[in-house]
Amino acid sequence: MTDDPEAFAAGWAEAARSRVAAAKVGPQTRQIGRVEEVADGIAMISGLPEARLDELLAFADGRFGFAQVLEEDRVGCVLLDDLSGIEAGDVVSGTGDVVRVPVGEGLLGRVVDPLGRPLDGKGPIAAETRMPIERPAPAIVERDAVTRPVQTGILVLDTLFALGRGQRELIIGDRATGKTTVAIDAIISQTASDIISVYVAIGQKSASTRRAIEAIRAHGVPERTIVVVASPADAPGLQWIAPFAGFTMAEYFRDRGQHALVVLDDLSKHAATHREIALLTRQSPGREAYPGDVFYLHARLLERAAMLSAEMGGGSLTALPIAETDAGNLSAYIPTNLISITDGQIVLDSRLFNEGQKPAVDVGTSVSRVGGKTQAHALREAAETMRLDYAQFLELEMFTRFGGLSDQRVKARLTRGERIRAILSQRPYHPFRLVEEVALVTAVQAGLADALPAEKIGDLRQAIAGGIDRAAPEAVRQIEAEGTLDEAGHKALRDALAVMIGRSAPPPEADR
C-alpha cells in the first residue's frame, strides 16, 4: 500500500474502470418453465420450447428430472427423486446437460444408487469424473472377436455354454429358479481374475438385494465390485436409469483397457418401469401395452457390451442380463426381444429346480452363440462329447420309465449320464476353479467314475478340491498357466483321479 493517498485513489479508480469495461453488459435470457401437473413420478411442464430429449431439468427446490417426452406445448419430465414438495406452478429450468453419473476406482467396493449417491454409509464417493448414462455403442471397426473366456465357476456353464469376454448372455427363467444365484456365482468366481464386476439391482426386493450383497462380501472380492441399487420404493426414473448407469460405470474400466462384467437383475422389471413411464406420459401403447421403442431401449443398452480391438485398448465389457418368464413361456414379448438381442441364453427350468437339480439349467433350450471358441483348451478337450452324451441320457431315461432295458450299452449310457448329472449339480456360492472343472469332467468322461455311486460324486468333488493340487501338481500348473494339457499332463491327471476314486486309470486307447 502506497503512502500517497492520491496515487492510491487513482490506482483504485483505474482498476474499477477495468472491471467495469470487462463486464458483459446486456440483456440475458433464461427459459423458465412451470409445472402444470405432477403425479406418479411424472411432471408435465410447459414453457420450455427448446428443451431437448433426455435433457436434465432442474426444479426450484434442487431436485432433478429428465425430459422423456417432447410435445408441441409440453414436456414430459421423469423425476429422479420422490415428488414430495413439487407442486403445480413450481419453476423449472433447463440445464443444457444430460444425466451423468460418477465413475472411477473410488466406486469399487461401494453400494450406490443409480446417480452414484452412497447407500452403504461409508462417506462420499471419490469420483474421478462424471459421464453420461447414455453413450454410443462401440462401432464395428472398434470391436474384436470374442475369444477370451469368462470363467463363471459354474460347471454346467463353463463346459456346455461357454461365456466369452465381450459377450451378452441372457439368464432367463421363472421366478425363484436361481437366476440371481447363477449371476452372483459368476461374480464370485472372478476372485482370481482381472475382471471388475458391477451388479445392478433393478426393482428387486430389499431382502433379495441384501442377500446378494452379503454373498459377494462373504465369498467374493467386494473391493473389485460395484453394486448399484434401485429399489422398488425409488422413483420410476431412478429405476429406469439404473442399467444405463451401471454400464457407464463399467465402461470407464473397459475404455482403460481393463475387463468388466455387468449383471442386470432384471430387465423384465426394467421393461415394466419403461411401460409405466410411457403410459403415464401418454405415449401410444403397443403389444402388451409396451411402447413401440421397448426393443430399441434394450438393444441400445446391450450393444454397449463389447470386446474392444487392440487399437482401442483391448478392454472388454461382458453383460449378463436377467429376465423373468411366466410359466416357462419363452415366447412372451420381452423374453423374445431379449433373446434376439443377446448372444445366447441360459434357461433355468422350474421342474429341475424343484427336483433338486441346481443350478436348474435346461441344456436343451440353453445355448451360447459364441460356443467353444472361448473355452480353455483343456476343458474343451475334456468335455468334447459331454453335451451329446447328456442329451442322449435324458432321452434314454425318459424311455426307461416305461420298462427296463437289458442292453448293456444302454445301461452304460445311463450310468454315464447319471454321473454327468451328478457333477453338474453344484452348491450356490461355491464356484469351481478351472482345474477342478477339468478334473471332474475328465473323471466322468474317461469312465473313471462309472463304478462310483452317483450319491458319492459329492465326495469326489470335495476330494478333488482338497487334493488335486498335491496329487497332480504338474497338470495343475499347466492348466492354470496355459489352459492346456499335454499327454504327460493328461496321464498324470487320470492317474491322480484314479487314486482318488479308488480304481486304476484306463489306458489311453479306452478313452478314445
Question: Which residues belong to the active site?
Answer: 369
Cα 307 vs. chain centroid, distance in angstroms? 15
User: Rounded distance, CA 371 to CA 404, Å?
Assistant: 36
| Calpha distance 319→305 (Å, rounded) | 6
Q: How is residue 385 written as a grid cell? A: 462329447
* DSSP3 helix / strand / coil % (the chain, rounded to 5): 45, 20, 35
Report the 10 Å Cβ neighbour count for 408. Answer: 8
Query: For residues 242 and 180, what is the distance between their CA atoms, to the nearest angstrom?
Result: 17
Nearest to 312 by CA among 471, 138, 184, 452: 138
Q: Give the three cell numbers for residue 265.
A: 437383475
Number of H helices, E strands in the chain: 17, 17
Asked whether the beta carbons of 262 and 200 are under 8 A apart, the reply is yes
Rounded alpha-carbon distances, angstroms, from residue 27 to 20, 22, 24, 30: 16, 16, 9, 10
First and final C-alpha spacing in the chain = 97
Distances (CA, A) of 371 to 143, 286, 379, 423: 18, 35, 13, 21
Query: Rounded to an integer, what distance in angstroms lies between the CA atom of residue 493 and that of residue 385?
Result: 19
> How many residues are given for the chain?
512
Cβ atoms of 140 and 315 closer than 8 Å: no
Write out 388-425 in H/E/C secondary structure.
HHHHHHHHHHHHHCCCCCCCHHHHHHHHHHHHHHHHHC
Q: Is 193 in contact with 163 (CB distance < 8 Å)?
A: no
Give which of 346, 15, 315, 316 is closest to 154, Cα–Cα. Answer: 346
Positive or negative: CA dihedral 401, 402, 404, 410: negative
Cβ atoms 465, 186 nearer than 8 A: no
C-alpha dihedral over 186, 191, 195, 196, to 10 degrees?
Answer: 90
Write the DSSP string, 104-131. Answer: SGGGTT-EE-TTS-B-SSS-----SEEE
